[in-house]
Chain A
Amino acid sequence: MDYLAQYLPILIFLFIAAGLSAAFVFLPMGVSRLTGAHNPDTEKLSEYECGFPAFEEPRSQFDVRFYLVAILFIIFDLEAAFLFPWAVSLDLTGWPGWITMMIFLGELIVGFAYAWKVGALEWE
């Protein structure tokens, strides 16, 4: 599997990145735990004067329009994803392949025109 060898640098990079980020997170924690004084009690761990426990979940509901935008994004994302294999295999598929993709794009352009015209892309 020589093609996997091409991914070796990425793997090494991953290991180094994971190792470094772990070190950056856990090293200060460990060092401060070992060197500093550490004796918590209830009062120390509770909210300080100016804070108070949360009354409710901090999440607030999103507008449904975000969802519509996300769906439209996924669809065009997928469409774009189909372009990659088409582009690299065009010399194998030739004219039929080219026409196929143009029809596919045409279908999606009709959808795009529809979405635009009915105002799905407008915020207000």
Chain B
Amino acid sequence: MDYSISLRLIAPEILLSVSGLVLLLVAAWGGQKTGRLVSILSAAALFGAGLMLFPTLHLGVVGPDTFAFGDQFRADAFAAFAKALIYLAGIGCLMVAPTYFDRLKAMKPEYPVLLLFAVLGMSIMVSASDFLTLYIGLELNSLAAYVLAAFLRNDTRSAESGLKYFVLGALASGILLYGMSLLYGFTGTTSFEGVRVALSGEMSTGMLFGLIFVLAGLAFKISAVPFHMWTPDVYEGAPTPVTTFFATAPKVAAIALTARVALDAFGTQVDAWRQVVIFAALASILVGALGAIGQQNLKRLLAYSSINNVGFILIGLAAGTVGGVGAMLVYLAIYVAMSLGSFVALLMLRDENGDALATFADISGLSAKRPALAWCLLALMFSLAGIPPLLGFFGKFVVFQAGVEADMVALAAFGIAASVIGAFYYIKFVKVMFFDDASERSVADSTTAHWVLLVVTTAIVSPLGYLVTPSLGDLTDKAASALFLLP
């Protein structure tokens, strides 16, 4: 095995882990006051790792040249695209965290370090081409995420959300491991390539069980229905910057991982998993739309919104074609922007005492008090609802198009119908902000970092975003082709 080639392929991961280790030492020696400095350095490390992806992404490198460590790890264009989204989301979450935690006097330099390690785990997940790599990356990400969810350890709700996430996440890991061991038992290998070959032809019951268990474990990680029940509780209880992180980066990682597993490892048995994915997609869209209707808490509402969006993303995967995966990646990119923007807006909704405006009652009449914030939220909500001309509409349009091209007209039609139900609560959000009587709660000023993030994400989802869609489509097409190297 030639290690130098492999090491060059994992350069972004090496950069992330080395900076994580160094920053941990900075945290230990510098103490609590280095929180902001470590955050900035972590963001810089993420940015540097992102720059390393650029050649792969731009040239659309796929194939055996990207296999590291004897095909345990693939640094191809697909992974690079997902990593770029994950790093960007990570940088966004690092930008908003210090202000939030400083207010609670809980900013610790361990926060950015743990976030960096979580991102490292995701980076390994999206590059995994062996079930062992998959599991190790997933656990690295999850372990850091459990700690992040419980980061405000003196806040009961944060601790509760960490515990809930941990118990259910451990269960999901167990299910995933069970599926992986079944697959290993019946195919004799853990590499995606080997499993793919072994699964071709007639599939035995044991393999089918393994496949379903693996998909169930992954469905938990992407919070697709029926494995979504942890999402609202965890999102509500976790500190808001952590929720911002959960709603963006791990989603991208888990969905990209699912796509790679489904199309690479299980690529010869598309029919076996397609119905599972279709069911998860439909159920997620429906549950996400219906569950959000009664919610009063804004974080819970956005949690259901993320479940709903996962459903649309899965339609692209269910198509099982290059176009479908490309559409999925486009939707993912738009989703990250929308999700990041709306959670940053939630973080900005605070009164003068620093208490969050957490419910609909608190934000009624926001447009009178903070018109700019209200208009940004309007754009983000309409985009999440998929109302043209905002970019969210384009995302939905491409996945439905991919669905129709793959002869899944009924699925696409259902998706369109359900997105109308979903539009209800997004519009309610806007109605409360613009047309209801103003609540007594004042809204405090926000820092520049928040405004920059909000304006950038709003600009992306605004019709201006259509300027980048051609190049985005170009990138996603190259990335998607990485999963379809073999017949």
Contact = CB atoms under 8 A, between A and B. Distances in A.
In-complex A–B contact (CB below 8 Å)? yes
A82 to B, nearest CB: 14
Interface in B1-52: 3, 21, 24-25, 27-29
Interface in A4-56: none
Contacts of A107: 21
Interface residues of A, number: 9
A107 B24 CA distance: 11
A117 B29 contact: yes
B28 A114 contact: yes
A111 B28 CA distance: 10
Majority SS at the chain B contact face:
helix
Majority SS at the chain A contact face:
helix
Contacts of B21: 106-107, 110
Nearest to B108: A118
B159 to A, nearest CB: 13
B3 A110 contact: no
Most B CB contacts (10 A, CB to CB) among A107, A111, A117 go to A117
Contacts of B3: 96
A110 to B, nearest CB: 5
A113 interface: yes
Contacts of A106: 21
Interface string A106-124: 1100110110011000000
A114 to B, nearest CB: 4
A110 B23 CA distance: 10
Contacts of A117: 28-29
Nearest to A117: B28
Contacts of B29: 117
Interface of A: 96, 106-107, 110-111, 113-114, 117-118
Given A110-B24, A110-B25, A117-B28, 7 more contacts: A110-B21, A113-B28, A114-B24, A114-B25, A114-B27, A117-B29, A118-B28
10 contacts: A96-B3, A107-B21, A110-B21, A110-B24, A111-B24, A114-B24, A114-B25, A114-B27, A114-B28, A117-B29
